Structure 1
Amino acid sequence: MSGSAFEGFLSTPQMLAVFGDQSVMQAMMDFESALARAEAAVGLITPAAATAIAGVCRAELYDVPALVAASGRAGSLAIPMVKRLTETVALFDTQAAQVVHWGGTSQDVIDTAMVLVTRRALALIDADLSALNAALLALAEQHVATPIMGRTLMQPASVVSFGFKVMGWVGPLVRCQQRLHAAAARALQLQFGGAVGTLATLGEQGPTVAQHMAQQLHLPPWQGAWHTQRDDWVALGCEVGVLVGALGKFARDLSLMSQGEIGELNEPTGAGRGGSTALPHKRNPVASMVALAAAQRAPHRVAALLADMSQEHERGLGNWQAELADWAGLFISAHGAVHALAEAAAGLQVNPQRMRDHIEALQGLVSAEACSTRLAGVIGKPEAQRLLEDLSKRVMSEHRHLRELLLQAVADDPRLQPAVPPEDIHRLFDADHAARHGAERAREQLARYRPLAAQLAAAKPFDVPESNLQDHSPQEQA
């Protein structure tokens, strides 16, 4: 499931391992072990049979690549796995071999395995997202009032504060984390319904068995099978896609601000990070690159998950299988993005002087809106705007500062001269003064998002006790 080398370098070894063949196979074995112990707890099979089954539910005992290879012909990874598990149990207990996978179906074991590995995947994403949010919030607080040029449609607009800009990155990320927690609480559910979702093979004991299994696997109480009801599951995938998009927004701005001729920000360097095979001076924004690559690919993954929802009757044909293949890729990309940006944010290099230099280089034009607003109170908005448009054109053609031209225009106008003193005009061109509104908004957002981010970081909803099912006897489960 790790894909090519090019997939791997855009993610992390930890996430690749989560969706690796060995990990998925062990999660399937965990399902089978939990099933056997739950059935023993309600008296459907003997404790000895449950112990015999659970004792060999360890992926390292099996030739996992061979099982994966056999799955294509069988039509499901669960079929060769259950067959080999049954054969292995029979080596020690022929009676126990008769009740392996009793009452379950292939989709039960595979979907539950995907839930278990997805929970681990979300734990990785959540930890790095908490670290990224904390780093960005600290950065916003440090530079809450640092002036920087705001840009719209890729062009200079008005002065804001760098803290305000950073909060534009971190606000969506905190909200994404909040929604991920909520979506996962609905989606990470035991899949258990038997052949058509009714648990008919287990009779009246079916729901009780399911509750025992959910408890063992540290999942919420069983609510019923969701074989072809993929809404909550796909909604979780969509939230991961939205997170990748929010990461892409941060990465896009970071990469633009890191351009050599801009130089307002730089990703951390060292240990071969961001180098070039030909140009020794380069500092390539590799974290941004990884996140932007994820943002390019996530929409297609999410679209595929949505397309896979129209599944037939009580078991999908082709669409469920396609969903399984697309799911891992989405998480692999997402963790590559959040991990890379969390590392970059922790060591981000900020250049406030370059931010001021870019404001000053525009010879006061970024203050044109503020000037127009100030004059509008005296001569009205239409006339004030026309005046500033004319003065702005002269700035460009005469290479003069807007402040100089505006001081002269005010001095020459008998309406403006007594109403707009020179100190007011000078204040309009003060970058720190201009950044105050952005700083105020940034402080408001910091007050809102700091406690929420801390709460989300402390929640750790995807951390569960290390579950070794072999440590619990069937009698204890009863």
Structure 2
Amino acid sequence: MSVSIFDSFLTSSDMIAVFDDAAIVQAMLRFEQALAQAQADVGLLPQATANTIAQACDVQRYDVGALVVASRRAGSLAIPLVKELTKSVANIDAEAARKVHFGGTSQDVIDTAMVLATREALQLLDDGLHDLTGRLLELAEQHAATPVLARTLMQPALITTLGFKFAGWLAPLVRARARLREHAARALQLQLGGAVGTLSVIGEQGPTVVERMAAILGLRAPDAAWHTQRDEWVRLGLEVAVLSGSLGKIAADLSLMAQGEIAELAEPSGEGRGGSSAMAHKRNPVSSMIALAAATRTPQHAAALLAAMGQQHERGLGNWQAELAEWPSLFLSAHGALYALNEALAGLHIDSARMLRNIGEFKDLIYPGDAQDAAALARPAQRLAEQQLRQLRADITKLSTPS
């Protein structure tokens, strides 16, 4: 997958690599290799044939750019790839070439390749969430009692604590990490149904081949082909979209609190971060900017997934292809936002003295005639923060414990 310079600005090199053209083609070749091996395991073809096919399943043998161009005429990337794979196998063993892609169809290859890539993408998100939730928990516990002005409808409201605010940022991320895992457990499944989902070419051995192939690839064996049953897959994509929204909320709050007139928080500076080409005094919140941009783009991608669900009969025309094109963008945006916010929070500057001054400017309006200090007024929020953070720490520990 090639991305524009403006796309790459809003994501990470690691996530770009996951959905790179060569990476997807290699995943498709892994499908072909696993299909042949599974069929050899159940006696449908000789092991020597599976070995020959496996020998040709190396993306370095193929011109990926030419395959992409050919796919525009063929209607599927799988068609030119299988053609070239068959030629490559034939150069080694003409008889083995007759068994390439036996019983599979184009959508089987591409869907499974996208599942394999998505598994890697989800691991990147999980790693990023591990770091971000850990840092937010640390900051929230440190500042459970730090008074700060709460704001509603963009206006000064009552006194809360920074720890309570951070807990509000943290909780949706902890839930997102858990739910992504839950949905992945169902959605990361093999696609193998053949031309119309019935495994008719493979015959009675079809279900056994599915089980074996899923085991080889480390995927869940599906109850049936899901060529046009996209519900579990789309739910996973929508969870990624919700994560981007939660990251956007953090970025919005952080950027507002970093405004020069407020100055309660600030992203790290130095080493070329957040400078201005025209105004040397500026300290731009670039991490927040990236996360906000990612969150702004996400609804369109999520809506496209939902719009593509009405796929015709046993194989869709146009809508499946639209889904494929939209899918990587969700992960590119989410990981870009995660990466940026991890950078911001790693060196976040917190000005508690400025928070007290900001409270002081409005204290007489908020609590007229009340002589209590800010710390006393913040104690209800502190108690709630401490209670919530105990549960969040337990949830994070559970997510970080190997199952």
| Normalised-by-shorter TM-score class | over 0.9
- Matches of 2:348 and 2:363 in 1, distance apart? 29
Residue by residue, what CA displacement relative to the aligned partner does 1:220-259 show, whole Å, maximum 9, x if unpaired? 2332210000000000011001000000000000000001
- Report whether the alignment pairs 1:298 with 2:241: no
Deviations 1:366-403 (A, max 9, x none): 22xxxxxxxxxxxxxxxxxxxxxxxxxxxxxxxxxx43
Matches within 5 A, 1:148-167: 148-167=148-167
Give 1:457's aligned residue: 400
**Counterpart for residue 262 of structure 2:** 262
Partner of 1:239: 239
Q: Distance in 2 between matches of 1:7 and 1:329?
A: 9
Query: Are 1:426 and 2:390 an aligned pair?
Result: no
Mark the CA change 1:319 to 1:38 in structure 2 (over 3 Å): closer, same or farther.
same
Give the aligned partner of residue 347 of structure 2: 347
Unaligned 5+ segments in structure 1 are 368-401, 404-424, 462-478
Q: Distance in 1 between matches of 2:297 and 2:191?
A: 28
> What is the CA–CA distance in structure 2 between the aligned matches of 1:356 and 1:363, rounded to whole Å?
10
List aligned pairs for 1:33-112, cutoff 5 A. 33-112=33-112
State how 1:129-278 maps to structure 2 within 5 Å.
129-278=129-278
1:198 partner SS = coil
- Alignment-mate amino acid for residue 51 of structure 2: T
- State whether structure 2 residue 355 is matched by structure 1 residue 358: no
Q: How far apart are the structure 2 equivalents of 1:301 and 1:70?
A: 26
CA contact (8 A) 1:127 1:457 kept: no
Q: Partner amino acid for 2:394?
A: P
Letter in 2 for 1:439: Q
**Equivalent AA in structure 1 for residue 371 of structure 2:** H
The residue correspondences of 1:251-400 to structure 2 (distance < 5 A) are 251-367=251-367
Q: Aligned partners of 2:128, 2:213: CA distance in 1, in Å?
A: 30
Q: Which amino acid aligns with 1:169?
A: W
* Contact 1:257 1:264 (C-alpha < 8 Å) held by counterparts: yes
Structure-2-length-normalised TM-score: 0.98
Name whichever of 330-339 and 74-83 sits farther off: 330-339
Shift of 1:454: 2.2
For residues 124 and 202 of structure 2, what CA distance do their matches in structure 1 show?
36
Quick one: which of 433, 436, 440 aligns to 2:379?
436
Tell me by how many angstroms 1:271 deviates. 1.7
For this pair of structures, how many residues does the alignment match?
403
Residue of structure 2 in register with 1:416 after alignment: none
Q: 1:25 deviation in Å? A: 0.4
- Secondary structure of 1:269's counterpart equals coil
Equivalent pair of 1:37/1:47 in contact (CA under 8 Å): yes
Sort the Cα spacing of 1:109 and 1:245 in 2 relative to 1 into closer, same or farther, 3 A.
same
**Residue type at the aligned position of 2:33:** S
Q: Tell me the TM-score normalised to structure 1 length.
A: 0.83
Show the counterpart of 2:118.
Answer: 118
- Structure 2 unmatched runs, 5+: none
- Identical aligned pairs, as a percentage? 58
How big is the alpha-carbon RMSD for the aligned residues of Structure 1 and Structure 2?
Answer: 1.0
Alpha-carbon offset, residue 457 of structure 1: 3.1
SS at match of 2:202: helix
Q: 2-side partners of 1:273 and 1:119: how far apart?
A: 32
Matches of 2:242 and 2:220, distance apart in 1: 25
SS of match in other structure, 2:356: helix
Quick one: distance in 1 between partners of 2:379 and 2:365? 18
Q: Structure 1: which amino acid aligns with 2:41?
A: A
